[in-house]
Structure 1
Amino acid sequence: MSDGADVDREWWKEAVVYQVYPRSFNDSDGDGNGDIPGIVEKVDYLDELGVDVVWLNPVYESPLADNGYDIADYQSIHPEFGTMDDWERLLEELHDRDMRLIMDLVVNHTSDEHEWFERSRTGNERYADYYHWKEGEPDDDVQPNNWNSFFGGSAWSYDDERGEYYLHLFDEKQPDLNWRNAAVREDVYEMMNWWLDRGIDGFRMDVINLISKTEGLPDGDPGDEVTGAGHFVDGPRLDEYVTELYERTLEGRDVMTVGEMIGGISADEAAEYVGEDGLSMIIHFEHVHVDVGPGGKWDVVDLDLAELKTVVTDWQETLAEEGWNCLYLSNHDQPRAVSRFGDDGEYRRESAKMLATFLFTLQGTPFVFQGQEIGMTNA
C-alpha cells in the first residue's frame, strides 16, 4: 500500500461503534434506570463483541425533558446516571482495553434550566443575547415569525420573567443558542476542550447543522416540511461555524467527529463538511426515509428496495474517495432494524444476520445500536 494510502488509514475508519443509550442499557443498582456503573459492568462484554468505540448518549445534568438532550450543565453528570468518578472509571476501563469513548455534544440548544438561560432571561448584560429573543405580548396571536418546532407547534414560547419570546426548534424547555454571539461560541469551545482534555476520543454532534439561522429570523416557506426550515437547516454561516469549531477544538487532536445533519442533506452536500479540516463523517437520514409513511417514521410502509439501493449507492460512491460514511440502520431515534427492514417473527434471526452482513460490508464505519447484536426488535 502506498504511503498516501497509509495516511488515510485513520483509526476511526477501521472501527466498529457501539451506541449506548444509558437509561435502558444496564441498571447496576436496581432503581429501574440504567447508569454508568452498569455500563462499566458490561465493558468486557463490549470488548468480546469486538467494539472499538462506545458512543455514549447524554449523561449530563438535565431535567430530562428530552431524554437528556436538554442539558442544564455540560460539565457534570446527572445523579440518575452516577457521578463524575463513575464516568472517569468508565473512560479508564475502556482505554485499558484499547477501546475509545465519544460523547454526545448538544450545542444547538441548552435546557431552560441552564445557568446561561437563567441569566439571559433576567436580561443580564453578558448573557442577554446568548439566545434568540424577540419582543411580543403573551396574549398575541402573532408570533415573532411563522417557524415551527420539530416537535410540533410554534417554535416560540413567551417568557414571563424577561417579557419576550425565545426560539426553541425542539421542546419549549430547549431554547436555541445564538451562535451569532461570539461569546456563545467561545463558551462552547471552552467546554469542548474541557472534555477533550479529560481524554475523550471525540464527539457525536447533535443536530449540528441547525446552529446557523438566517439573520433577522424572517418568516419561512409554509411549504417546508417544517415551516422555517429554509432559514435554520444548513444556515448561511454553518460552514464558517464548523470550520471555526474545528480550528478551536479539534485541530491537532486524534479524535473522531460525527455530525448529525437533519433536514434532507444530500451526499454532495455532505462532502463539503467531511474530510481534512472537517468532520470525520456525518449522520444523514436519506436511507431511513425511503419507507416512512404519512404518520412518520413509526408508520413505515412497504420498502422500495430499488430506491434504497439507489440512495445507499449514491452515498457510497460520492464519499468513496473524499470523505467517509457513517453506516447505521438503527439508533435511539429510529425503529429497530429487524422490525423495520426484516421479519421480527419467524425469520428474526435470519433478518438480523442479513442486515448485519449488509451493514458491515459497506465502506464506512458501522454503528451498532445496543441490542442490535442480538437481533432486538421493537417493543
Structure 2
Amino acid sequence: MEDFVELRKVTKERKMRLIMDFIPNHTGKQSQWFSKSQKKEGKYTDYYIWTTCDPQTYRHDLVIHMVIGRGAWTYDDTRKECYFHQLESDKPDLNLRSADVRQELESILRFWLDKGVDGFHVQDFQHLYEDEVLGNGTLVNRKTDSEHKDLNRIRTSDNLNYPKLLKAWKTVLESYNTKPGREKALIVTAKDDLNTTMEYFDAGVTIVRVTPLSDSGASFAERIETKLKDANSKRIGWMYGDKYSSRLTNSLVGPVQIKALLTLQATLPGAPFNYYGNEIGMTDHPTLSAPNKYRTPMQ
C-alpha cells in the first residue's frame, strides 16, 4: 500500500490520471470469501457458483482449463460440491446474482476511490453473469475436444442485469466527482458488436474498449467502419491486443502493416490503448508457452 500511495502522489504531481483494473469476475482460491463459502458460512455460502456433481468426473486432475468466456467445473473436497471457474481452477467465479457480492464489489470501488484513483477498467464485462441453470445441476463434460464447444451455450451474453450493474457502479463513481473535468472514468472492454457497445454507453460508461483485430466474422475494415458510424465513436477505445493475445509483430506480416495499424489507431476518433510493447514492435517470447510468452518485460 505504501507503494500505491507513492504512485498516487507522483501521478498527481505530474497531473496524470490513474485508472485501475477492476476484476469482479473471480477471486483467488485462497480468498477468505472462498474459504467461508467452502464451509457454507452465512452469506458467503452463495458468494460463488456451486452445484452437486460427481467427484470422480470433476476432480482437479481431470479438469481441462478453458479460455475466458467458457469455463469448467472443479470438485471441492471441503464443500463436497463443484465450483465454476472461467479461468484456472484457482480462480473461482463470483456469483454476481448475489446482492451481497454486488455490495462487496461496490465497497471495493469505494475503497480505491477513497485512495484517490481516477476510475476503473473492467475487462470481459459480458462474461460476469453465468446462466442461471449453472446453479441447478447443469454440468458440461469437458473431457474431449468435441465437447469444448458446448461450453459456450452455458454462458449468457448481454444479460439484462448488465446495464443495471453498470449504472450502479457509475452511481458510485459519480458520488466522487469533485468538479467538471474531474469525473471518474468507467472503462469496459466489450464484445465486438454495435448493440453491446450502445448498451454500455447508455448505461453511462465513459469509454468502451474494442478489439477490432479479433475474429468475429466481419473484416477488420468493416469492424472499424461500424464503430465509426456510432454516434459515440469519440468514446471508443481502440485496442489491438492484451495479456491474453499474441503481439502484433507475431500476428501480422511485416513492420509496414504494423506501422499502418498503429497510425490508424492513433488518428481515429476515440482513445488508443496499447498493450505495452506493441508500439515498438515487441515480440512474444520464443520459448515460453501462452500466456507467459505475452507477458515478458519491456524489450
TM > 0.5: yes
Per the alignment, residue 193 of structure 2 pairs with: 266
Deviation at 1:152, TM superposition (A): 10
Is the alpha carbon distance of 1:252 and 1:200 closer, same or farther for their aligned partners in structure 2, counting shifts above 3 Å? closer
Separation in 2 of the partners of 1:249 and 1:323?
A: 21
Per the alignment, residue 341 of structure 1 pairs with: 252
Contact kept? 2:211, 2:238, Cα under 8 Å: no
Task: Look up the equivalent residue of 1:123 and give its one-letter code.
Answer: K
Per the alignment, residue 329 of structure 1 pairs with: 240
| Structure 1 SS opposite 2:51 | strand
Per the alignment, residue 168 of structure 2 pairs with: 244
Is the alpha carbon distance of 1:92 and 1:229 closer, same or farther for their aligned partners in structure 2, counting shifts above 3 Å? farther
Q: Deviations over 1:59-116 (max 9, x none)?
A: xxxxxxxxxxxxxxxxxxxxxxxxx111211121122111111111111111111110
State yes or no: 1:284 paired with 2:210.
Answer: yes
Q: Deviations over 1:254-304 (max 9, x none)?
A: 12222123xx441222111125x521122334432269xxxxxxxxxxxxx
Contact kept? 1:179, 1:185, Cα under 8 Å: yes
Per the alignment, residue 185 of structure 2 pairs with: 256
Contact kept? 2:21, 2:121, Cα under 8 Å: yes
Identity of aligned residues (%): 26
Q: Determine which of 258, 265, 268 is the counterpart of 1:362.
A: 268
Task: Look up the equivalent residue of 1:194 and give its one-letter code.
Answer: F
Task: Look up the equivalent residue of 1:365 and give its one-letter code.
Answer: A
Per the alignment, residue 282 of structure 2 pairs with: 376
Per the alignment, residue 87 of structure 2 pairs with: 170
State yes or no: 1:317 paired with 2:232.
Answer: no
Is the alpha carbon distance of 1:148 and 1:230 closer, same or farther for their aligned partners in structure 2, counting shifts above 3 Å? farther
Q: Tell me, which stretches of 5 or more residues in structure 2 are unaligned?
A: 141-145, 178-182, 286-299
Per the alignment, residue 7 of structure 2 pairs with: 90
Separation in 2 of the partners of 1:285 and 1:230?
A: 24
Is the alpha carbon distance of 1:290 and 1:322 closer, same or farther for their aligned partners in structure 2, counting shifts above 3 Å? closer
Quote the RMSD (CA, aligned, Å): 3.0
| Structure 1 SS opposite 2:18 | strand
Separation in 1 of the partners of 2:75 and 2:89?
A: 9
Separation in 2 of the partners of 1:124 and 1:373?
A: 48
Per the alignment, residue 54 of structure 1 pairs with: none
- 1:1-379 maps to which residues of 2 (within 5 A)? 84-140=1-57, 149-150=66-67, 155-217=72-134, 225=149, 227-229=151-153, 231-250=155-174, 253=177, 254-261=183-190, 264-274=191-201, 277-289=203-215, 307-318=219-230, 320-321=231-232, 324-343=235-254, 348=255, 350-379=256-285
Task: Look up the equivalent residue of 2:235 and give its one-letter code.
Answer: W
* TM-score after normalising by structure 2: 0.79
Q: Tell me, which stretches of 5 or more residues in structure 1 are unaligned?
A: 1-83, 292-305
Deviation at 1:161, TM superposition (A): 0.4
Task: Look up the equivalent residue of 1:118 and give its one-letter code.
Answer: S
Q: Deviations over 1:32-54 (max 9, x none)?
A: xxxxxxxxxxxxxxxxxxxxxxx
Separation in 2 of the partners of 1:194 and 1:98?
A: 22
Separation in 2 of the partners of 1:153 and 1:325?
A: 26
Equivalenced residues, count: 269
Deviation at 1:169, TM superposition (A): 1.4
Task: Look up the equivalent residue of 1:370 and give its one-letter code.
Answer: Y
Separation in 1 of the partners of 2:25 and 2:150?
A: 17
Is the alpha carbon distance of 1:322 and 1:355 closer, same or farther for their aligned partners in structure 2, counting shifts above 3 Å? closer
Task: Look up the equivalent residue of 1:181 and give its one-letter code.
Answer: S
Deviation at 1:118, TM superposition (A): 0.7
Task: Look up the equivalent residue of 2:28 and give its one-letter code.
Answer: S
Contact kept? 1:213, 1:235, Cα under 8 Å: no
Higher helix share: 2
Deviation at 1:168, TM superposition (A): 0.8
* TM-score after normalising by structure 1: 0.63
Deviation at 1:178, TM superposition (A): 0.9
